[in-house]
């Protein structure tokens, strides 16, 4: 009996060379490229695991990514290694933990770029809306299983809490020329992009890979951050992302980002993804994904810069700012506690 | 009642960050990338509008792009915004007007990069060769409707006139080593590229997006222009493009460009697109698209350079040169008239 | 009657502008990009030829690429021209010879970048596992036909000989952090990448283009070589590549490269491609392709550098080193003989 994470079926590594199109004008690889690779690894290992059972063949569909931090910048020409391992299974879902290491293949230097945890649900190939059962994994110890069960319960609560955001109206996209001219307001940097879902974005059963959606989300958040600062910006972290609904081939997705909170050194950007079937009027427009991205501003030596304060206008912006501030303070407290624990 | 162009269904904005692969070695974004984004916006808004009716679900297929000018160069790292609006509907076609604005997201500077008008026809998803009816839009005034009707009649005549080009034989592609060695002849710079149509080039009903074809056309025209000048070249304008026939998945497209006319400061390149089904011998090879691209040559400060004169050989080349010259003079007259009107 | 290679059906040219994503950080276009273009040309001309007959429509599937050398480096901004010609047909297979010329479109300078020979087999669109008959071509002379027959017999033997490699176990991929830390060992530079096959990688009948596989193989071999040398490396040649089995859409491919032999100025890297259907457990994992890539190391002026010697550990590595050395010496002898013949 092999221990979990060691046998073929429950661990996986993938790697790719970072190309110019993966990075911004300073050579910093976009966070969205890393998120897409993380999800690709999770989707492969999840799908492989769920097909070790009898019954319908199935695909693992991403339903949630836990809060994740970008620990070191990655550059063009480096090789990114993503290793994934199944760490918990419930009856209908599984958790994949992923580690991202960036390697300078000329010097051999390696650095930890990211760690993430993703939740998948197996969908039948015969009927994508039918959720299959997940074969159980073996745990190294009862403690490991218990820890996994706690993470499972926590994410269930987390998903419940963000249900509200499904209902939150998509902010209106002002015409570029009607957009507010005053710098550092929320309206000034708010941005949207629209993407027509093609076959290269989709799984074999024609819904969009979670990683493709996250790449678009990071792209729009980066535009918001660059507009606010006018400097080189990079993704610092992403709050838990929930995938409320599948996005199908042929849909148009509208990805909108707006600043919610700004500290001295960071910007929080809310990103909402709405999907709209062009040809099926009955489905209508629906909220498919939502998340908060945190960006920081860097100088030419990749040292952090101060971020211009956000000019708040109206009660809604004030409310979102306060909520963002409380997320910011919670994260700060959590990070300090972790540091102390490690000492 | 919302006025046309203001409600969700009849206006649309999309944007995208320009990446290294979108540009030439001087950082100038290829005109073909802009044309592809323009068409993506038109195709989304057109498809959405045509599905507001009962009956078969349908896709808007591009049939014509009116003459369009590239007003300012766009660079890597800028965000390109495309806004589209339905401005006229006939029984079986609709006109989309599109505006392209390039934004330097670091400085906030914006410039108008392009304005274009596109004509679409709705094709049934059940049978792509069946043209559906277009739901009428509401006009801001009877004058607006009348102006639209005039544009509609004009494009009908325009499409008729270019029917001749459907029959024009594809110039023979000389083997690279047999190609004429004398610089500045038509034969010296003539170029072809061949592309095998894959699923990422196609709509959900497996015909090629108009924007994909225009991107290939701009690419080959750029190679012709660079061969003639040996300098940094950019797309200045594109004459009306007519899409005579659909190109289907699995086809091979041959895109050929050759110089027809050269003025002091510009080159006119005729581009012909022929499609060929590899597996269906009955369809055979057919002319799918044709257009004239105008390129200019730029120095390192993006200032226009003189273009070497074209060495004409034979009567056919002379005839095409004269036709090109008359198009060039017509455009010049038209531009001067417009300038005067604006003063 | 047109001579073979001159009429439309049996010759073909394609070209493409090289973009930043096609090249490494020194601007050298990856060998894999060239191999992919070569195969695209072969696949188009082969498919076109095989559909000139009656019976099922079919696709030409790549089964073998003969040993090929990269004669000159290609750079970003150059236009690559690939010309292909059918040079031999047996009952069930055909040979395509391909020439690659890189052109600096600013100066007009041209150089021969590559010459290759590929073998294709026509597969019925109705049933991809059914091999069709190939319509015979006409030869310029009986001698030409006889030479082709000899090449055909030689490749049959070559394919037989490499059958053994189908059985060779895929080397274990050590976790990046467990990887050997001692530089210049085989284990230090061994690398794998994993790719989930999507629709843009596939033909209309949903198996992977041979060119897509070769591009991945070159990518992993390049990572191995860069890890070993820590310098700018380029593909010098590729030994005969055999495509043992088709790779289907939805599969995961694992591409692994490891050093087998190192001379003063070159590195030989064995690359193995294993395919694994995520959803179909019965097929299991199978060896799809295998080949030897040779890389060289270049300084900033594109002059060859010495390669660090390989530290051999254990009998298996020693055996592979000896086999690699004998391939190296054979190739050297062959090249010298050719040079003499040409003088």
Same domain, yes or no, for A212 and A142?
A: no
Cα C115 to Cα A143: distance, rounded to the nearest angstrom:
61
Residues C112 and C253 in one domain: no
Mean pLDDT, chain C, as a whole number?
A: 89
A162/A154 Cα distance (integer angstroms): 13
B343 pLDDT band, cuts 50/70/90, is: confident
Which residues of C are less than 8 Å from A107 in CB distance?
230
Q: What is the mean pLDDT of residues C202-221?
A: 91
Q: pLDDT by residue (tens digit) across C165-204?
A: 777 777 766 666 667 778 999 999 999 888 888 888 888 7
Reported as a single tens digit per residue, the pLDDT across B64-112 is 999 999 999 999 989 899 999 999 999 999 999 999 999 988 888 899 9
pLDDT digits (tens, 9 = 90+) for A187-198: 999 998 888 888
Nearest in space to A88 (alpha carbons), one of A34, A155, A185, A179: A155
Residue C168 lies in a domain: no
- Distance in angstroms (rounded) separating the CA atoms of residues B92 and B96: 14
Q: How large is the greatest C-alpha to C-alpha distance in chain C, in angstroms?
A: 65
Q: Would you say residue C8 has pLDDT above 60?
A: no
Q: Are residues C10 and C149 in the same domain?
A: yes
User: Is residue C164 situated within a structural domain?
Assistant: no
Same domain assignment for residues A81 and A213: no
Whether the per-residue pLDDT at C280 is higher than 90: the answer is: no
pLDDT value, residue B235 = 96
Share of chain B above pLDDT 90, in %: 62
pLDDT of residue C177: 65
Q: What is the pLDDT of residue B1?
A: 29
pLDDT for A97 equals 97
Which of A182-186, B166-170, C95-99 has the highest mean predicted lDDT (pLDDT)?
C95-99
Confidence (pLDDT) at A6 = 36
pLDDT band of residue C2 (cuts 50, 70, 90) is very low
Say how far apart CA B188 and CA B178 lie, in whole Å. Answer: 10
User: What are B250-300's pLDDT values in tens digits?
Assistant: 888 999 999 999 999 999 999 999 998 877 766 778 899 999 999 999 998
Query: Is residue A3 over pLDDT 70?
Result: no
Best interface-test mutation with A: which of B6, B8, B12, B14 has the largest number of A CBs within 10 A? Answer: B14
A216 within 8 A of A271, measured Cβ to Cβ = no
Examine the domain organization and report whether A246 and A326 are in the same domain.
yes
For residue C279, give the nearest of A16, A20, A51 by CB distance: A51
Instruction: Just list the catalytic residues of B.
Output: 24, 218
Q: What is the dihedral of CA C151, C156, C161, C165, to 10 degrees?
A: 110
Q: How confident is the model at residue A10 (pLDDT cuts 50, 70, 90)?
A: low
Does C317 have pLDDT greater than 70? yes
Highest mean pLDDT among A284-293, B116-125, C98-107: B116-125
Write the CB contacts of C154 (distance below 8 Å, at least 6 apart in sequence): none
Helix, strand, coil proportions of chain B in percent (round to 5)? 30, 35, 35
Average pLDDT taken over every residue of chain A: 89
- C173 is a domain residue: no
Q: Is A107 within 8 Å of A147 (Cβ atoms)?
A: no
Q: B2 falls in which pLDDT band (50, 70, 90)?
A: very low
Q: Are residues B192 and B318 in the same domain?
A: yes
In this structure, the answer to whether residues C213 and C132 fall within a common structural domain is no
Assess contact for C219 and C32: CB atoms under 8 A. yes
Question: What is the percent of chain C with per-residue pLDDT over 70, rounded to a whole number?
Answer: 94
HEC profile of B272-297: EEEEEECCCCCCCEEEEEEEEEEEEE
For chain C, how big is the Rg over CA atoms in Å? 20
Is residue B168 in some structural domain?
no
Q: What is the number of domains present in chain C?
A: 2
**Last residue of one domain, picked from the residues B111, B138, B154:** B154
Residues of C in Cβ contact (< 8 Å) with B24: 77
Closest by CA to C227, choosing from C310, C134, C339, is: C310
The per-residue pLDDT for B3 is 33
**Domain edge (last residue) among B113, B139, B154:** B154
Tokens 């009849």 locate to: B10
> Does the residue C171 lie in any domain?
no
Measure Cα distances from B340 to A194, B69, B109, B164 in Å. 38, 18, 28, 34
CB within 8 Å: C13 and B198: no
Per-residue pLDDT reduced to its tens digit, C227-261: 999 999 999 999 999 998 889 888 889 999 999 99
Locate the chain C residue with the closest alpha carbon to A15: C193
Could you write out the three-class secondary structure of chain C?
CCCCCCCHHHEEEEEEECCHHHECCCCEECHHHHHHHHHHHHHHHHHHHHCCCCCCCEEEEEEEECCEEECCCCECCCEEEEEEEEEEECCCCEEEEEEEEEECCCCCCEEEEEEEEEEEEEEECCCCCCECCCCCCCCCCHHHHHHHHHHHHHHHHHHHHCHHHHHCCCCCCCCHHHCCCCCCEHHHHCEEEEEECCHHHECCCCEECHHHHHHHHHHHHHHHHHHHHCCEEEEEEECCEEECCCCECCEEEEEEEEEEEECCCCEEEEEEEEEEECCCCCCCEEEEEEEEEEEEEECCCCCECCCCCCECCHHHHHHHHHHHHHHHHHHHHHHHHHHHHHC
Residues C216 and C126 in one domain: no
Confidence of residue A302 (pLDDT cuts 50, 70, 90): confident
Question: Subunits that touch chain A (at least 3 Cβ pairs < 8 angstroms)?
Answer: B, C
By C-alpha distance, the chain A residue nearest B15 is A193
Looking at A62-71, A169-178, C33-42, C82-91, which range is the least confident one? A169-178
Residue C295 backbone dihedrals phi, psi, to 5 degrees: -115, 150
Q: For residues A133 and A131, what is the distance between their CA atoms, to the nearest angstrom?
A: 7
C67-101, pLDDT tens digit by residue?
A: 999 999 999 989 899 999 999 999 999 999 999 99
Q: Is residue A160 part of a domain?
A: no
Residues B28-68: pLDDT tens digits? Answer: 999 999 999 999 999 989 998 998 888 888 999 999 999 99
Task: Indicate whether B246 and B198 sit together in one domain.
Answer: yes
Q: Are residues B70 and B139 in the same domain?
A: yes
Span between the terminal Cα atoms of chain A, in Å:
36
For residues C193 and C326, state if they share a domain.
Answer: yes
Provide the residue range defining the domain that includes A291: 186-341
Q: Report the percentage of chain C scoring pLDDT > 90.
A: 62
The catalytic residue positions of C are: 24, 218
C16 bridge partner residues: C80
Rounded alpha-carbon distances, angstroms, from residue B282 to B167, B205, B247, B285: 18, 21, 15, 9
Whether the CB-CB separation of B238 and B294 falls below 8 Å is answered with: yes
Q: What's the rounded Cα separation, in Å, for the pair A323 and A309?
A: 16
Which residues of chain C lie closer than 8 angstroms to B200, CB-CB?
Answer: 199-200
pLDDT at position C119, please? 97
Residue A75 in domain: yes
Which of C130, C154, C178 finishes a domain?
Answer: C154
Please choose, from the candidates A159, A82, A147, the residue with its C-alpha nearest in 3D space to the C-alpha of residue A121.
Answer: A159
Q: Spell out which chain A residues touch chain C, with contact meaning CB-CB distance below 8 angstroms.
A: 12-17, 19-21, 40-41, 43-44, 47-48, 51-52, 57-59, 76-77, 79, 81, 83, 101, 103, 105-108, 110, 125, 199-200, 202, 204
Question: Least CB-CB distance to C278: which of A21, A47, A81?
Answer: A47
- Which residues from chain B sit within 8 angstroms of residue A173, using beta carbons? 13
Question: Using the beta-carbon criterion (under 8 Å), do A176 and B103 form an inter-chain contact?
Answer: yes
Same domain, A195 and A149: no
Look at A59 and C177 and tell me if their CB atoms are within 8 Å. Answer: no
Q: Which of C9, C121, C138, C124 is nearest to C55 (CA)?
A: C124
Q: What is the mean pLDDT of the segment spanning A189-215?
A: 89
For residue range A86-101, list pLDDT tens digits in order: 999 999 999 999 999 9
Q: How confident is the model at residue B16 (pLDDT cuts 50, 70, 90)?
A: confident
Task: Decide if A21 is catalytic.
Answer: no
Q: What percent of chain A has pLDDT over 70?
A: 94
**Which CATH number is C293's domain given?**
3.10.129.10
CA atoms lying within 13 Å on the CB side of residue B145: 9
With 80 as the cut, is the pLDDT of residue A57 above it?
yes
Residue B169, domain member (yes or no): no
Structure-model confidence comparison of residues C197 and B321, the more confident one: B321
Q: A2 pLDDT band (50/70/90 cuts)?
A: very low
Output the six-digit token pair for C201: 């990688």
Mean pLDDT calculated for residue range A122-132: 91
Q: Tokens 């040559």 map to which residue?
A: B297
């Amino acid at each position: 009996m092999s221990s979990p994470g060691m046998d073929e079926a429950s661990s996986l590594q993938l790697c790719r060379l970072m190309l110019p199109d993966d990075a911004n004008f300073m050579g910093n690889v976009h966070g969205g490229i890393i998120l897409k690779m993380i999800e690709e690894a999770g989707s492969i290992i999840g799908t492989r695991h769920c097909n070790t059972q009898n019954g319908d063949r199935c695909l693992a569909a991403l339903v949630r990514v836990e809060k994740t931090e970008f620990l070191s910048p990655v550059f063009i020409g480096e090789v990114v290694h993503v290793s994934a391992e199944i760490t918990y299974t419930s009856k209908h879902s599984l958790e994949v933990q992923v580690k991202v290491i960036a390697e300078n293949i000329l010097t051999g230097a390696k650095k930890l770029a990211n760690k993430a945890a993703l939740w998948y649900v197996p969908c039948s190939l015969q009927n994508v809306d039918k959720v299959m059962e997940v074969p159980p994994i073996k745990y190294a110890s009862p403690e490991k299983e218990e820890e996994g069960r706690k993470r499972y319960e926590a994410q269930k609560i987390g998903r419940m809490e963000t249900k509200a955001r499904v209902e939150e109206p998509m902010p209106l996209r002002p015409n570029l020329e009607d957009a507010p001219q005053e710098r550092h307001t929320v309206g000034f940097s708010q941005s949207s992009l629209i993407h027509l879902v093609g076959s290269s974005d989709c799984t074999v059963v024609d819904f969009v890979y979670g990683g493709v959606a996250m790449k678009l989300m990071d792209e729009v958040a980066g535009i918001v951050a660059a507009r606010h600062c006018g400097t080189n910006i990079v993704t610092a972290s992403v709050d838990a992302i929930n995938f409320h609904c599948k996005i199908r081939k042929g849909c148009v997705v509208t990805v909108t980002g707006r600043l919610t909170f700004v500290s001295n050194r960071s910007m929080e950007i809310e990103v909402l993804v709405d999907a709209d079937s062009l040809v099926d009027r009955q489905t209508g427009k629906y909220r498919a994904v939502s998340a908060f991205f945190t960006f920081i501003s860097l100088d030419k030596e990749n040292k952090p810069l101060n971020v211009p304060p956000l000019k708040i206008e109206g009660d809604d912006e004030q409310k979102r700012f306060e909520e963002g501030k409380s997320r910011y303070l919670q994260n700060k407290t959590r990070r300090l506690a972790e540091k102390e624990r490690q000492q």
